[in-house]
Amino acid sequence: MAKLIVVIGVTGLQGSSVADTFLRLPGWRVRGITRSPSSEAARALASRGVEVVEGDFNDKDSLRPAFQGANVIFSNTDFFANLLAAMRPGADLPAGRTPNEHAYHVEVAQGLNIAEVAASPAVLRTLDRFVLSSLSDARGWSRGRYTSLYHYDSKAEMIRVIRERLPDLARRMSTVQIGHYVTNWKAFRTMAPQRQADGSFLVIRPFAPGLELPFVVPHRDTGAFVKALVDLPAGKDLLGVSQTMAWPEWVELWGRILGVEAGFKQVSREEFFAGTPKPVRDELWDSYEYCADFGYTGGDPEVLTPDQLDVEVPLTSMEEYIRSEDWSSLLSSTTA
């Protein structure tokens, strides 16, 4: 009988990659959970063989039937979706709570809803592995220096509660700390290469030129990370990295492949985040500071990289990503 993986957030960058990976594997079925099963993305997945079901992270009862019979569950929650919702005019926030604090509490609650249903006896009967998409425990690894990096701390709190309150699920759990999205330029246009008056391109970042980052192609490689964690014993904490390099190296590669002049410039955080709404700026600013001070994983010695695993993990190089990406909107742009 084919095994079943249940993918939370199946239409997102991470979830769709997991679905793509397991659809290609013999002996696996894919069930994807989304709040919008009639969306174009959900219908496209269904046409390829994904069993698309409706589920809401805020409603445990909606998750129970979706988890039935699962051998693997991939849990992925979205802090920034909750933050943007909290920033909308008229958003109903508890008194005295900032949008960032509210997004933290909502994401923790959503993650624990998923975990509590996964830990129910009916689900544990078939469950072999619970893979949670996470980030570093910034508060802990910075020894209290960073106390408001909420999109990191929310994942750390989920893991802490699972280990403390849901031991049967914790014994089946592995985590993947997804790296620095190389696709962020699509969501934040200031992160895209900017055309200059002379026709060249400039990438600006607040990072020091020598700082190496764990770049990840999330829509391609998340599935490979999850597959590796499914094949290995539980208890692993994996850094989800496609390739590590510094920004100047990435920019040089980008320009060479596309045949354009391109350069890198380090700018102040104030310049880089000019015009960014404060709640978003606070999260990204702190994450950049934390990464520069402590490293992407905070220096946690238990975090493994794909090359340290006992299984092969196929990864997308930055050259492969750049060659496959559609850059036409940037190459045809006018001066920034």
Residue 296 belongs to domain with CATH number: 3.40.50.720
What are the DSSP calls for 144-205, one per residue?
TS----HHHHHHHHHHHHHHHH-HHHHTTEEEEEE-EETTGGGT-GGGS-EE-TTS-EEEEE
The average pLDDT across 218-246 equals 99
Instruction: Tell me if 298 is assigned to some domain.
Output: yes
Q: Which domain holds residue 133?
A: 3-331
Contacts of 297 by beta carbon, 8 Å cutoff, 6+ apart = 136, 141, 177, 239, 303
pLDDT tens per residue across span 82-119: 999 999 999 999 999 999 999 999 999 999 999 999 99
pLDDT number for residue 290:
97
The answer to whether residue 336 sits within a structural domain is no
- Considering the domain boundaries, does residue 120 fall inside one? yes
- pLDDT at 37 > cutoff 80: yes
Bridge partners, residue 112, by sequence: none
Query: What pLDDT score was predicted for residue 188?
Result: 87
Average pLDDT over residues 113-129: 99
Burial of 324 (0-12, 13-18, 19+ CB in 10 A): exposed
Q: Cα–Cα distance between 177 and 159 in angstroms, integer?
A: 12
Across 139-154, average pLDDT: 97
Domain count for the chain: 1
- Tell me what pLDDT residue 254 has: 98
Tell me what the mean pLDDT of segment 121-128 comes to.
99
Residue-averaged pLDDT of the chain: 96
- 335 pLDDT exceeds 70? no
pLDDT at position 336, please?
A: 56
* 256 located within any domain: yes
Which residues, 6 or more positions from 190, have their beta carbon under 8 angstroms from its beta carbon?
204, 272, 275, 276
Predicted confidence (pLDDT) per residue in 281-299, tens digit: 999 999 999 999 999 999 9
Residue 222 has pLDDT above 70, yes or no: yes
